[in-house]
């Protein structure tokens, strides 16, 4: 009986002491209403993994979710928004997209980001662009050490796309993972860096690059 009484007392103390009383949402630049009832009642037994996956699934514009326990009774939920990686120009509109083609919203043109110019229709916020040319372009940009060096990528013909890098034109296949092509381009850039200028055309559509000055 004594052991039972002690166990019950400890359980009551834990539940009472660490009951969640305050939930603080840190979401800079976003307006999101969270259902705080889903966080449960106790700070010690917070199902962090499950809650994180649910929030990321419910709000596709979120890039990350972090939980901070501030004992004894405060939970801080930090929401991080996905960041713009490139711009996509389609049907006269300019959209901000992340590194994997998730549409973050309409925006204005700026030279801060590479611009992908492809007609893929009207896009909605939170949707993912399902276009082989866009997917290939983003795989190329992700592999570049400094993707901001690429000014734009657009259609060249039915089988290829064209990237603009300074005064150089880069010819690329229009489908597939282009990360290996990005590796090749960076090797070529390193070789020409000592000369101060890049060639006018770097054709990476074939097994071996073709360079035209």
Whether the pLDDT of residue 66 is over 90: the answer is yes
Whether the pLDDT of residue 186 is over 60: the answer is yes
Indicate yes or no: pTM above 0.75: yes
Using pLDDT thresholds of 50, 70 and 90, give the confidence band for residue 4: low
Q: What pLDDT was estimated at residue 149?
A: 87
DSSP classification of residue 82: P
Q: What pLDDT was estimated at residue 8?
A: 58
Whether the pLDDT of residue 11 is over 70: the answer is no
Domain boundaries defined on the chain: 2-81, 86-212
The 74-81 sheet, strands edge to edge = 22-26, 74-81, 62-70
Using pLDDT thresholds of 50, 70 and 90, give the confidence band for residue 9: low
Rounded to an integer, the average pLDDT of 58-84 is 93
Asked if residues 86 and 138 have their Cβ atoms less than 8 Å apart, the reply is: yes
Same fold, 2-81 and 86-212: no
Whether the pLDDT of residue 14 is over 60: the answer is no
Second CATH level (architecture) for the domain 86-212: 3-Layer(aba) Sandwich (3.40)
Using pLDDT thresholds of 50, 70 and 90, give the confidence band for residue 197: confident
Which CATH code is given to the segment(s) 2-81? 3.10.20.310
Using pLDDT thresholds of 50, 70 and 90, give the confidence band for residue 194: confident
Residue-wise pLDDT for 87-105, tens only, equals 999 999 999 999 999 999 9
Q: What pLDDT was estimated at residue 111?
A: 92
Residue-wise pLDDT for 140-181, tens only, equals 999 997 776 899 999 999 999 999 999 999 999 999 999 999
Using pLDDT thresholds of 50, 70 and 90, give the confidence band for residue 26: very high
The candidate with the shortest Cα–Cα distance to 102, out of 56, 159, 144, 140, is 56
Alpha carbons 29 and 93: distance in angstroms, whole number? 23
Calculate the alpha carbon distances from 37 to 40, 72, 212 in Å.
6, 18, 64
Alpha carbons 10 and 125: distance in angstroms, whole number? 49
Length of the chain: 213
Using pLDDT thresholds of 50, 70 and 90, give the confidence band for residue 109: very high
Q: Could you tell me if residue 161 is left (phi over 0), alpha (psi between -120 and 50 degrees) or otherwise beta? A: beta
pLDDT cut 90: percent of the chain above it = 68
């Amino acid at each position: 009986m004594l052991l039972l009484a002690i166990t019950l007392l400890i359980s009551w103390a834990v539940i009472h002491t660490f009951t969640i009383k305050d939930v603080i949402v840190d979401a800079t630049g976003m307006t999101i209403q969270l259902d705080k009832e889903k966080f449960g009642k106790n700070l010690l037994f917070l199902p962090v993994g499950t809650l994180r996956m649910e929030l990321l699934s419910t709000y596709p514009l979120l890039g990350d979710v972090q939980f901070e326990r501030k004992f004894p009774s405060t939970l801080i939920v930090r929401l991080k928004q996905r960041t713009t990686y490139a711009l996509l120009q389609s049907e006269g509109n300019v959209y901000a997209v992340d590194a994997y083609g998730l549409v973050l919203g309409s925006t204005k043109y700026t030279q801060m980001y590479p611009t992908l110019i492809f007609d893929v229709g009207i896009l909605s916020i939170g949707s993912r662009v399902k276009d082989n040319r866009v997917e290939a372009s983003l795989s190329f940009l992700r592999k570049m050490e400094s993707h901001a060096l690429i000014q734009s990528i657009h259609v060249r013909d039915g089988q290829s796309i064209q990237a603009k890098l300074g005064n150089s034109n880069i010819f690329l296949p229009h489908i597939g993972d282009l990360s290996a092509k990005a590796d090749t381009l960076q090797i070529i850039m390193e070789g020409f860096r000592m000369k101060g200028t890049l060639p006018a055309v770097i054709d990476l559509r074939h097994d071996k690059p073709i360079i035209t000055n």
